[in-house]
Structure 1
């Protein structure tokens, strides 16, 4: 049975191109099943400045609502699952509450999968973009109760947003090379401090590195969170055939009927 999975993203220009290129590779190399379709769904509204989103708490909050709405629109359009393409997992729990399809976040999926590839405690490092992005990443991992899986010394580090921004905005080979080299330098510092696996904590940088063939640094796996999240979404759809679905017992129990939910969304201008 065919399956359609969408990547919900605010990316534009070369940053979007890297995502599109990598999704094509996942399908061409049959990393996903041959009858699984991967497509991009763009947000109706998003920040114009990448820095506003990566470093802004308020702007992330604003955009989170549009992530949820994009998931609901994807569901309406017949997608079987959705991946929210941001490592902060903005709007993930809210989307799960109101959507009927599986919704996957990059941080949650990558951390869960990394624990299968390295020892359970003090083995994982994450490389984010932007200094404030480091703090936001810590908050996400702590919320999931997975902090103990991280290496002890500075487990979340970053490459400068200016370096990633130049590569993501221009798409020029020279700029991409600078970003890749900076990432490798930071990754080696993490490995020196005990990392057995390095996760790329960015939905744009992960595919960029994957397109450039960076999957291993000095014998340590480098994880693209987009690939892992897509495979997780695919697995969740398949496991529904066994009746294994999102628990609606309490946390993700819809607070109101679907009719009232539509009225509430309309009140806020989303319908």
Structure 2
């Protein structure tokens, strides 16, 4: 089984060693015989907006909306080149819903998958976001998914940066635990950390569980395993929910060459 692990941006942030470490971690979550491969979409115009929004930490979804055409194009390419499924690695599921209308292989959003998983093992869950703007954005997504009644709260640690953040492990762990305790005190029975660059790439969910005493959901593990389940069961997203027309090519989405 081959799973495309699709980043939301065309930028390769963190360097080759970081890329290799993340890919190895993603593969450690898969079953024997499954290969998980990191891919990035083309830059069809969203990168400059992302760079601009990062300066003011106003990351509330605009950059993701502009990345959607490139992500849909990449998903179509994945199906055409023999991938069995696509897992979007970003914890805000940018482009997942519309990409499902373009292909019949499973397309998984790790946020939605993780929310349903959390709701299956706990009455209510809380979200830990990197920034306040992320928290606002995530709240809108949860409401769209119809999962608001399971959500006890969202809090941000207000710490985020690009690249490899492993040198900041102890500081990140401290802030995640602090915010996690606030969410648990407010009624969360499980926690979902957003921002894979923080959890699980630097801080492991089990480190947080040891301090917080509630389940901490590994969004990447849940997404990869859900993709495997659908592929093994020879199933996919419902065509009733995601109407599909055969024959779309990547060029139908955009003929523009990437920068």
- In the superposition, the TM-score normalised over structure 1's length comes to 0.81
Q: In the alignment, which residue of structure 2 is the partner of 1:269?
A: 256
DSSP 3-state at the match of 1:98: coil
Aligned position for 2:236: 245
Q: Structure 1: which 5+ runs fail to align?
A: none
In structure 2, what is the equivalent of residue 164 of structure 1? 160
2:82 to 78, 84, 89: 78
Q: What is the aligned length? A: 249
1:223 and 2:221 matched:
no
On the 8 A contact 1:129/1:202 being kept in 2, the answer is yes
Q: Taking structure 1 as reference, are residues 35 and 4 closer, same or farther at Cα in structure 2, changes over 3 Å only? A: same
Matched, 1:258 2:247: yes
The secondary structure found in structure 1 opposite 2:187 is coil
Structure 1 partner of 2:31? 33
Alignment partner, residue 98 of structure 1: 102
The 2-side partners of 1:44 and 1:147 are apart by: 34
Q: Report what 2:133 is aligned to.
A: 132
The residue matched to 1:258 in structure 2 has which SS? coil
Is residue 2:198 matched to residue 1:205? yes
Provide the C-alpha distance between the structure 1 equivalents of 2:97 and 2:228, rounded to a whole number of angstroms.
Answer: 18
Q: Is this contact kept in 2: 1:80–1:101, CA < 8 A?
A: yes
Given the two structures, how large is their TM-score scaled by the length of structure 2? 0.84
Give 1:6 deviation, angstroms: 1.5
Asked if the contact 1:21–1:211 (Cα under 8 Å) also holds between the matched residues in 2, the reply is no
User: What is the aligned-residue RMSD (CA, Å)?
Assistant: 2.7
In structure 2, relative to structure 1, the CA distance for the partners of 1:211 and 1:17 (3 Å cut) is farther
CA contact (8 A) 1:198 1:221 kept: yes
Gap regions ≥5 residues in structure 2: none
Alignment match, 1:60: 64
Q: CA deviation at 1:51?
A: 7.0
